[in-house]
Amino acid sequence: MSWQGRSAGCWGPAEMAHVTCVGIAVWDLVFSVDAHPDGPGKYRAGALHEVGGGVAARAAKAVASLDGDTAFIGCIGDDPVGERIVEDLAGSGVDTGAVRRITGVASPVSAVFVDTAGERLVVNHVGSGLFEAGRLVQAEEIAGSDVVLADMRWSEGSLSALVAARTAGVPTVVDCDHDPTVGRGLEVIAAASHVVFSLPTLAALTGVLEADEALRLVGSYTDAWVAATAGPDGVYWLDDSGPCHLPAFPVDAVDTLGAGDVFHGAFSLALAENQALEAAIRFASAAAALSCTRASGRTEICDRAEVEALLGGCG
């Protein structure tokens, strides 16, 4: 794949790069608790926040907050929750013109429990038939994209977007944090130019816990560039010289909700701006780390100036 014709300069793009994000959007009910529930009973939350989430949708919000141009394509129900999801995305600077509204189906909702260490427990509900009813992504809907990012939740839609992007010579990123053997997930990762796994998903797919060896084994599923995010342990990837690792940026984490989604959005934007791979990984890692310093709610995504400050500028 080639990313010619765009000069990113220091970290800011010469022109606004465009990332189209395809997948799931969710309305999150985020409960702050002392500890995660460990059995039946009644539990009290210290705070409750509501915020738009979802893998691809939150990635799109991250792109917008980092000064990128972005659109979200996915399926929601024709209900008040769906309207809130769209309003939240549009209010964050995301183009929602290609969102599919499915009649008679409930929009995705999650109950998210965040403990005092910032770790989260998520219970998600997606209305039956939501993704099956969504029309597939057409080539004209990704026209003008510099990168297409897809998650694994809407595998048919993601696959159609990746195939259209590949035909157009547009780089693609897959956020593989969900079992790829479900639906057409293996076809999705096979169609991508870049696949970033969560380390637990990679281990489950390959049966290998060690990141470097597991990344080598995924060559049987895809010829894409591959990496794995490991939360506080950083990011692992392979290049021509062998296995590579970038430690996570040290921050005082208060909430890890959506950090992986922010990473993928920031990484996709960096590729769209023609940043080199290692620079893109550092940029995305910094954005994800900063997102963990926010309490749950609408301020979970950082801006570009904060990322540049953490990276220490261009020098």
- Would you list the domain boundaries of the chain? 18-37+46-311
Kindly list the strands in the beta sheet with 235-239, ordered across the sheet, starting from the edge strand earlier in the chain: 100-102, 69-77, 18-23, 147-151, 172-176, 194-198, 225-229, 235-239, 242-246
pLDDT of residue 11: 41
Given a cut of 70, the residues of the chain with pLDDT beneath it are: 1-14, 295-300, 313-315
Q: What is the distance between the alpha carbons of residues 173 and 145, in angstroms, rounded to a whole number? A: 12
pTM score: 0.91
Residue with tokens 């409930």: 106
pLDDT of residue 294: 80
pLDDT of residue 116: 86
Query: Coil, strand or helix: which one is 241?
Result: coil
Q: Tell how strand 47-53 and strand 26-32 pair up.
A: antiparallel
Q: Is 226 exposed, middle or buried (0-12, 13-18, 19+ CB in 10 A)?
A: buried
Q: What is the distance between the alpha carbons of residues 3 and 269, in angstroms, rounded to a whole number? A: 12
Largest CA distance in the chain: 59
Residue with tokens 């547009």: 170
Look up the CATH number of domain 18-37+46-311: 3.40.1190.20
pLDDT of residue 9: 39
